[in-house]
Amino acid sequence: MKAAYIHVPFCEHICYYCDFNKFLLKGQPVDEYIEMLLEEMRIKMAEAPCEKMSTVFVGGGTPTALNERQLEKLLAAIRTILPYDGDGEFTFEANPGETSEEKLRLLHDYGVNRLSFGVQSFNDRLLEKIGRTHRREDVYRTISHARKIGFSNISMDLMFALPGQTLEDFRETLDEALSMGLPHYSSYSLIIEPKTIFYNLLRKGKLRLPSQDAEADMYSMLMDEMEKHGLKQYEISNFATPGYESRHNLVYWNNEEYFGFGAGAHGYEKGVRLSNYGALKKYIGMLRDGCLPVMETHTETKKEKMEEEMFLGLRKNEGVRFRHFREKFGVDMKEVFAGAIKEMTERGLLEEKGGSLRLTREGRFLGNEVFEAFLLS
């Protein structure tokens, strides 16, 4: 076990597209939540000792919505309770405009060495339309402060296929984002999820989205522009200067194990998928009673592990290595998934290259369809 995800489910404002486990910050038992989050880490580290942790990722919600006192308490505990010695990757998610210089200094002082900013767009009109509270100038100011304090490993999240967004809108956002010269960018198309504001608007016929062709054009432009700027696409939605790939996210895509701490967090330990209760009252109450707040567990079969190896690993541009698959599972990938490999290769969506099976450029546009082909009956 070498990775941990920590969930802070509080936000100053709820974005219209977000379906993560989150709560409006005002009026919530934030201090009590942090106490119990630390207790969960203590219990888990006592039950499942880990010699060294190479990646820690704090997400949400908005972790930097915590006040400075709460933030420092969380940071100090992470460095005390978890076996992270500072040599690995320590990431915090943050929002432009909501992350003060004081909070950035705290993060830096406690060894956070990677920031992931949820920018989404440089178009103020679109930011308002998707429920974001920051604006274009906040991005420049916050990233300038982060660099001044000493952060160099900075990632930016962007979105496309937003309501009313044109190809030119997205081109302008890409131009501004790339002009900042960051070493890592993530960019995702909007997916309308149940229990979101956008889902309700769509059901009422009040949400105008770009066509599928327009969405494909945006994704194609994204890949081309990133390549022009020397950023390697290493996963369907992620681009980096070589050496700045997200080590934590690669744990997921490599189908490796990790701890998950916090309300609604997921973990993968010794072949078992675990998910925590999302409701704050239930999460806090279980830990007050000395119990881990696990809602569900699922012990994976060998078949499920092989399926996940494929549809997680194929997200990476390098794909899934034939030799690695055989060493991990004791069987030949081409025997287990003969039908899927044949069909998707003939359709031009998969290719064999350098000892790996991987998506073609065309396959990246139809990734979900490819992944579904690897579900064994």
Is 212 in contact with 197 (CB distance < 8 Å)? Answer: no
pLDDT at 377 over 80: no
Query: pLDDT tens-digit profile of 141-194?
Result: 999 999 999 999 999 999 999 999 999 999 999 999 999 999 999 999 999 999
Looking at residues 273-293, what average pLDDT do you find? Answer: 97
- The predicted pLDDT at position 96 comes to 95
pLDDT at 233 over 90: yes
- Looking at domain 302-372, which of 1.10.10.920, 3.50.50.60, 1.20.1250.20, 1.20.1560.10 is its CATH number? 1.10.10.920
Query: pLDDT tens-digit profile of 62-118?
Result: 999 999 999 999 999 999 999 998 899 999 999 998 899 999 999 999 999 999 999
pLDDT at 348 over 70: yes
Is 9 in contact with 280 (CB distance < 8 Å)? Answer: yes
Q: Which residues contact 365 (CB under 8 A, 6 or more apart)?
A: 216, 219, 220
Query: pLDDT tens-digit profile of 284-337?
Result: 999 999 999 999 999 999 999 999 999 999 999 999 999 999 999 999 999 999
Is 284 in contact with 275 (CB distance < 8 Å)? Answer: no
Q: Which CATH architecture has domain 3-253?
A: Alpha-Beta Barrel (3.20)
For residue 325, which of 297, 356, 289, 346 has the smallest C-alpha distance? 356
- The predicted pLDDT at position 19 comes to 87
- The predicted pLDDT at position 1 comes to 56
For residue 275, which of 294, 252, 255 has the smallest C-alpha distance? 294
Query: pLDDT tens-digit profile of 33-42?
Result: 999 999 999 9
List Cα–Cα distances, 96 to 131, 153, 330, in angstroms.
14, 16, 47
> Binning pLDDT at 50, 70 and 90, where does residue 258 land?
very high
pLDDT at 375 over 60: yes
pLDDT at 359 over 60: yes
pLDDT at 361 over 80: yes
- The predicted pLDDT at position 165 comes to 96
- The predicted pLDDT at position 195 comes to 86
Query: pLDDT tens-digit profile of 315-330?
Result: 999 999 999 999 999 9
- The predicted pLDDT at position 34 comes to 98
Radius of gyration of the chain (CA): 21
List Cα–Cα distances, 255 to 4, 23, 51, 177, 264, in angstroms.
14, 29, 20, 30, 20
**pLDDT > 70 fraction of the chain, expressed in percent and rounded:** 100
Domain ranges of the chain: 3-253, 302-372
